[in-house]
Structure 1
Amino acid sequence: MKNNFNSLIFEKRRKALIGNLPENSTVILPNKSISIRSNDVEYRFRPDSDFYYLTGFEEPNSVCVLKKEKRSFTYILFVEPKDREKETWTGKRAGKEGAKQIFKAHESYSFSEFKSKLKSFLLDAEHVYFPIGQNKDLELKITDIINELKKNNRTGIKSPKFISDPRDLIHRMRLIKDAYEIECLKFAARIAKDAHIMAMACSKPKMYEYEIEAIIEYRFRTLGAGGVAYPSIVGSGKNSTILHYTRNNRIIQKNDLILIDAGCEYNYYASDLTRTFPANKKFNPEQKAIYEIVLEAQLKAIKQIKPGKKFIDSYNRAVYILVKGLKDLGLLKGSVEKIIKKGEYKNFFMHKLSHWLGLDVHDAGPYTDEAGKSIKLLPGMVMTVEPGIYIPDLPDIPKRFRGIGIRIEDDVLVTKTGNKILTAGTPKTIDEIEAFN
């Protein structure tokens, strides 16, 4: 997939947002600033996802302003100006001209001018939108100006009547992926699939977990990913029962299961893929029994993903299968319905089944409607499906099951007629895994 910037994609999104706003509205969206890793060493910069979604602009110290008036709207970008000396150190900047020519801003200014011009954007704006709680300095500046304008209302100066957070509107837009986003997500998923296959092929006892981490992240980069979408998890043995285990520093033993949860970013769009497999190439009876339960739960949960179904439906289906399987193995006692009602299964499956996937690995977007009910699935939504069973090392659990952790995760696109598994082709059944190894 070619990484060509298309300003029309972002222009369409800005127009869609503006179309949902009342007249005399001003939206102020700041980008992130550089973060310090240690001393004077900076983290690699990644733009704020909402800011990038509407602008496509990737540089720090930038602000997007959208003004909607009666018959028009204005798109304004504040950016760092061209500076030959600074660009020698940190790379080329678009500058004010690039903001207009490349990113199609109607107006552009230096980032240093933003605070001095902020008052003019708030003047005569009836509705003001900015991400509340995200940037305290900006929030304080905006509220100070609004309070100042209100004091002068008697002189005829108008002040904003409504202050709102635009993220609810933006996140509802982000929930339904456009064609470009779907292509990026498909590409990120293909990279993740190939990287997981390489990692599975190379894994063996006596390796360190971090060696597998290195293999998978090497493959991400060689296939064109911008980097990881989140810290890679490579948990062997009892580490497979730790949900967000990232130390990855244990030596893998012969009879271990290896759980790899790793995804990459492509054009900032994430993949999120998990596979669990035996280090010695063959599942033992206990590992196989647990794996079959998790796999059945995942396959049947995915069948629930189609337009008109509720987000929660796949979770409910997966939980029923997990509970029944654990009960059949003697790890849970009582009726399936009672176990579910009391939440007793959460000792073994304590996380949710799914989350939205997009510009963020745990992507933006609501899970419930305005009535608090589970949202209905629509074409263009992308979600993970990741059931798991994690058996702790506790004395009341049969020893043969202790320390087994299994999770199976795929990325799924809701289509007009059902769903498409974007990470399909990564070995998943027991036969596929044992034959592959």
Structure 2
Amino acid sequence: MSETLYGSETQKAVDNFPISGERVPIQVIKWQARIKGAAALVNAELGKLDEGIATKISEAAGKIVAGEHDDQFPIDVFQTGSGTSTNMNVNEVISALTGGEAHRNDHVNMGQSSNDTFPSAVHLASLDEATNRLIPALKQLEASLQSKADEFVDVVKAGRTHLMDAVPVTLGQEFAGYAAQVRQGVKRVENALPHVGQIPLGGTATGTGLNTPAEFAPKVREKLVADSGLELIAAPADPFEAQGNRDALVELSGALKVVAVSLTKIAQDIALMGSGPRVGIGELFLPELQKGSSIMPGKVNPVLPEVVIQVSAQVIGNDTAITIGGMQGQFELNVRVPLIARNLLGSLHLLTTASTAFAEKCVDGIRANTKGTDASAAGTLATATALNEAIGYDLATTIVKKATDSGEPLRDVALAEGVDADLFDKTIDLRKIARGNQG
């Protein structure tokens, strides 16, 4: 660590909370610094703070945002539930960076409280991460899946329901479905963000705005929008709603949980279709990234789907913790904000990196195993479904059961049961069946 810039309140918190060894997410620290830099300039505009001191606070905050002093924020994330310790930590470091000219409370914290600035920083860090990192990563994954849907548009294979053979589909249809799942996930995240952008800044201690000019919060928000480009930064629907709960963060976490559920389904399907290479389903070739076994030569595992499934499980677990934290908004203040921040920003990070790796290291390199798809398409007896309108469900059932029991080809059994050969050949067109009513 470089020269220590924080003061006694930070050290007290370090001593009081030797809990996890995990610090407050640095994104929250940087957004607290942004808020304080903008607040100083607004306080100067309003005649509340000397312009020279305001400039020094803004410059010091800029250095924190730039990552020059990340090591000066050592407080454990499991701390006082309002984030007061971290707010004081930021105040002390900014004060020290001004050479002590800016007082940590009277100047750096002017017009603010931990109760409005810390949750505001969590909201804005989450909005920033979702907007600038997660959504682009999900869109990249969606594009990769859609590209494979286009590539596999004519690759017919057996459909499966209940893990049992069903009527034929195409790999393209399956991958188009996966792409749509991710696309819907992006919409769900985007729909939550306008609420996340509503911040309690200006409410100070309880939502009343005591010790803060009415013009303060709107002007600070305006500067934050200009500085970050995040157009969704906005006033709260009501100051007491914004101060007393963290519903918007719970909402965003819920959207991330749905994304995790979708990614689990997609990753599981891809891993199963890539199983084999000889005695599994064997309809896909996945990229060979590394050895799959320290004892079995030549074994290759679906490592990226496995990573995605594990990440998704963690995100779903994080959502449970966030939900419980969101319940703890007694009266005028939610006091589980550090818990929510840790898990929400963790989920955003995990989904971003996992989606990017999944797209680049797995999906983009997937190839169809046409021998496997051809075999499964030809082998599924559910193609007899297409005969229902011509011969009826009961006779089709008899044909399928006899083909299953005897192992004979479906066509041979159907003809033996009196089905016209021309009717069978015209009806049992695998590509036409796969197109369904779109044929």
Measured against the shorter chain, the TM-score band is under 0.3
Task: Write 1 or 2 for the structure with the bigger share of helix.
Answer: 2
Q: TM-score under structure 1 normalisation?
A: 0.27
Does 1 or 2 have the higher relative contact order (CA < 8 Å, sep 6+)?
A: 2
Q: TM-score under structure 2 normalisation?
A: 0.27
Rg larger for: 2
Task: Write 1 or 2 for the structure with the bigger share of strand.
Answer: 1
